[in-house]
Amino acid sequence: MKAFAALLERLAFTPARNAKLTILQHYLERTADPDRGHALAALTGDLKLRAVTPGLLRGLAAERFDEVLFALSYDFVGDLAETIALIWEGPGGADLPLADAVRLLETTGKAGLPAAIAGVLDRLGPSERLAFLKLATGNLRVGLSARLARTALAQMGGPTLAEIEEIWHGLNPPYPELFAWIEGGPRPDRAALAPFRPVMLSTPITLEELRGLDPAEHIAEWKWDGIRVQAVSEGGVRRLYSRTGEDISGAFPDLIDEMNWEGAVDGELLVRREGAVATFNDLQQRLNRKTVSRALLTSHPAGLRVYDLLIWGGADLRPLPLIERRKVLEAADFRSDRIDISQLLPFGTWDDLAALRAEPPAPVIEGVMIKRRDAPYVGGRPRGPWFKWKRDPRVVDAVLMYAQRGHGRRSGFYSDFTFGLWSDDALVPVGKAYFGFTDEELRELDRFVRANTTERFGPVRAVAPKLVVEVAFEGVNRSARHKSGVAMRFPRISRIRWDKPAAEADRLETLEAMIDTPNVFDAEGARAGVRHGRTKRRGGGEAPQEAGAARPLDGVETPSIPAGYLDEEE
């Protein structure tokens, strides 16, 4: 556990991607089986352990610590596992092999789990206690995606990342055959059919950057507000994967039943009713479920819009130019009214495409995808073949209402913010955001919260309604789960309005008017990439995969979206 704890600490406090890869690669090279396999599975989210809930941890704390002392400690630290790890009293000093920790969490029954966890915490030091609790809760928070972890494997030599990802779904922790292959042994037997193939990703682009490209060498299609998936049907086995390779077939049995072909296709998973694409909020009702009720299957029917073919008719089409794959796609018969083909957009110049982007035919369109006609299908994100030109985010000016301590590196700062809009003469909470600002702005926000606190609720503080923040978001929908009656998609703080009085912040009616309506562009704005009435602000990136949803407060919650679904790449 000592080596695993050191790995997590170094990853958490190392921001650079390449440095993270080096740290993990060295750990995997120097750590023996099966500990390194269990560590890799924990980092990729493939380690399935008995769930250790926050309630269980709070129960352990209640047995060991004074309630007020623990509440004050938790308020200061901001992270439940870290608080317990720091203040737990025990002899410590011992070590526990990672494989033994995994075995304990896998085999201990529910009734005996609290005592077993307490016994482990008694034996370990603070850093090892924290690593054990992170392992137990499955909440590592070290800023490392599953794909980046597999990239570290590929850097060890031997198989490439694409080769590793193609067999990954058929492997089980602690991956002895995988490490043997990397070290020169035989390729693991991929016993399961319908494997996942690495998905090709796009890079953002602007109109000015597009002007340096030849429009005749590219095609374009709408970018729909769903989730990227790979649908595979081979040898009677059918699977639906997220773009990171997570098997999500169980949540979409209605679509699995419609996959009447032999091959692998790349497309967008959507909820569709009578031919119309529903909002992402509707699709979210189907995500992150192991099973789906008959009522939900009826009310939220799944559909697939196909972008590309990877395997078809027994042939691997990925090396072919896009335009050749497109010909095969247009001739394909999917034999289902739930599955159709993404249509190409007619344009001769980039200004023509800008005009189309400015007036999409449906409010759930996020922008346009632009692809080179001669591009092969290559897993990962090669620069040049595919681009995404997303619509500019919607924005409102909201008033900061509550703040909550962050986690991990942010545990010493108030970094999770609830904001509201005016309704009559009162502020109504409409959303939460925990990113979009710089480190220096985070420190400024933290100072503001501490200096303007009016009430405390454990780790949450209510603040005086003085500070206006510009909030950017991708869409807004009606929601009965939220006190305001609306829900934003991917809200983030794009600017701190120190200059604006709180009384001049936007009203709830302004946000409600954006429901189910596309972004509005004026004629010049369509060409310049500017939203009508306001220029696009910085902070347009989407939520990081590692970010977790903040706690609900006053009827406002951040949508819980699995990392594999989060559409930050596409």
pLDDT digit string (tens) for 298-317? 999 999 999 999 999 999 99
394-528 domain in CATH 2.60.40.10? Answer: no
Q: Cα–Cα distance between 567 and 563 in angstroms, integer? A: 9
Q: Tell me whether domains 203-390 and 394-528 share a fold.
A: no
Low-confidence ranges of the chain (pLDDT < 50): 517-570
Q: In terms of Cα–Cα distance, which of 41, 58, 245 is closest to 153?
A: 41
Tokens of 369: 């995808």
520-536 in b/e form (b: 16+ CB < 10 A) is ebeeebbeebebeeeeb
pLDDT of 530 reads 32
Which pLDDT value is given to residue 558?
Answer: 38
- What whole-number distance in Å separates Cα of residue 440 and Cα of residue 430? 25
How far CA 356 is from CA of 211, 284, 476, 521, 527, in Å, comes to 16, 27, 22, 11, 10
* DSSP secondary structure code for residue 132 in this structure: H
Please check whether residue 363 is in contact with residue 518, taking contact to mean a CB–CB distance below 8 angstroms: yes
Each residue of 97-135: pLDDT tens digit?
A: 999 999 999 999 989 999 999 999 999 999 999 999 999
Where do the domains of the chain lie?
A: 2-137, 203-390, 394-528
Write down the pLDDT at residue 476. 84
Domain 2-137 matching CATH 1.10.3260.10: the answer reads yes
* The pLDDT of residue 376: 97
3-state secondary structure 290-309: CCCCHHHHHHCCEEEEEEEE
Please name the helix (run of DSSP H) or strand (run of DSSP E) that holds residue 116, with its range, or none.
Answer: helix 113-123
Q: Where are the alpha helices (DSSP H) in 408-558?
A: 439-451, 508-512, 523-528
CA 267/CA 393 separation, integer angstroms: 23
Say if domain 203-390 classifies as CATH 3.40.50.2300: no
How does strand 339-341 pair with strand 263-273? unpaired
